[in-house]
Amino acid sequence: MEQIPILQVGEFLLVSIQVDLHDRLVLRLQDDLTAQVVKKQAKGVLIDLSTVEIVDSFIGRMLGNMAALSQMLGAHAVVVGIRPAVAITIVELGLSLNNVHTALNVDKGIALLQTLVKQSSAEVRDEAYPL
Amino acid sequence: MTANKINRLTEIFTRHEKIMLEDWLREQLTALSARQDLISEPDLCRQSAEFLALFTPACRSGSLTDINSPEWKPVLDFLASVSRSRAIQGFSPSETATFVFSLKQTLLAHLRKELGQDAVALADEMWTATVLLDKLGLYTTEVFQKSREEIIKRQQMEMLELSTPVVKLWEGILAVPLIGTLDSSRTQVVMENLLQSIVDTGSRIAIVDITGVPIVDTLIAQNLLKTVAAARLMGAQCIICGIRPQIAQTMVHLGVAFGDVVTKATLADALAYAFRQIDCTVIQQAPRV
């Protein structure tokens, strides 16, 4: 059965989607991703859509869900590499993905994740040792 | 009967071509007396002569009722070129159609002179001539209309291209100065240009300047927000600037809001904010003595 690979890069997970997405595949990805975040204790998740050309409302919603699930499990999620046409489609579908961080490419996504992780660990320190 | 008809009209044209051309020119000049700035008399004379030179052989060889037959092709082509050039020169549709319709009066006058006694034949010939010239006149107007539409379409495309530039202000900062109202089709063009530029330059900040947008209503605000959301999906933050005081008041009255999008009064403010966002500082040097 088809499966989208989830790669570990340092303390982050990289999900590079290189096939046409369909509903069942996305559902399976969601299961795999949540399992992997817990198993690897990942600090961040990168979802790379740079080769995805078609996104429908369900997949758009699932992207938001995956990001929310990752946040809940303690990993920041960044969606990277959205193409212009896909971005316009998502906006026209009325999905703003407001709670999802985005970046132009994987490189910038990793930089963003690093700052996000640094920020949250600083917050944790502040709470542990209040001035 | 039909052969007879053709012969009569053609006969008149062949025999009196010179006189008819003169009469016709006089008609046209009186009709177009106010428009001598647009077309010179020699030009008009040349066009008329050329038309008659094509019209006479077409009359001789072709059917007088069907201008779609191949014999009439050169006449129609010539009329189309005249009509097109007049559309560009700025003639009105009726002035352009007058080119053909003014021939009618000349032709009818000559017909009356030729067939004055034979009322039945005169009526027949008049009818044929009228139908033929009406068809040619309508064809002229049709071509005129079409060429005007082409001009309008081309100008629309040019305006669309002209009014949506995306400029790079700094490494990582893009600016989109919007001019004119922002309808759905223009939003689409702006969005596509902006998103493509974000990909090409790898920018993190896009400044949307709406100084040139005369009205911001709920629809335009929604279109702007769509653009902002799409840019955000590409990893770029948008700043909206150039909201004029009047427009700000209208927007607040209408209850239009840009949500959590950063807005600034001027492009300079937006640029300063953008510099802070990309950790870039501008330093004012001490004045040289």
Whether residue B6 has pLDDT greater than 60? no
Task: Nearest chain A residue to B234 by CA: give it.
Answer: A104
Is residue B2's pLDDT more than 60? no
- Statement: residue B26 has pLDDT above 50: yes
pLDDT score recorded for residue A127: 73
Q: Is B185 on the interface with A (CB under 8 A)?
A: no
* Banded pLDDT at A130 (limits 50, 70, 90): low
- For domain A6-128, say whether CATH 3.20.20.80 is its number: no
Q: Give mean pLDDT, residues B231-245.
A: 92
Cβ distance of B235 and A88 shorter than 8 Å:
no
Q: How confident is the model at residue B54 (pLDDT cuts 50, 70, 90)?
A: confident
| pLDDT value of residue B3 | 47
Q: Among candidates B278, B190, B276, which has minimal Cα distance to A108? A: B278
User: How many interchain CB pairs under 8 A, A with B?
Assistant: 53
Cβ distance A82 to B233 less than 8 Å, yes or no, reads: yes
For position B1, what pLDDT does the model report?
Answer: 42
Q: B40: helix, coil or strand?
A: coil
Percent over 90 (pLDDT), chain B: 24
Chain A residues lying within 8 Å of B233, measured CB to CB:
79, 82, 86-87, 90-91, 97, 102
Element (H, E) at B211: strand B205-212
Q: State whether residue B158 sits within 8 Å of chain A by CB.
A: no
* Domain annotation for chain B: domains and CATH numbers: 2-156 (1.10.490.10), 167-277 (3.30.750.24)
Q: How confident is the model over B11-34, as a mean pLDDT? A: 78
| Secondary structure class of A47 (helix, strand, coil) | strand
With 80 as the cut, is the pLDDT of residue B9 above it?
A: no
Q: What is the dihedral of CA B176, B177, B178, B180, to 10 degrees?
A: -160
Residue B287 has a pLDDT of 86
> Tokens 């969606």 sit at which residue?
A79
B199 touches A at CB < 8 Å: yes
Beta-carbon neighbour count of residue B96 at 10 Å? 24
Which segment of A30-34, A55-59, B37-41, B143-147 scores lowest on mean pLDDT?
B37-41
Are A102 and B202 an interchain contact pair (Cβ–Cβ within 8 Å)?
no
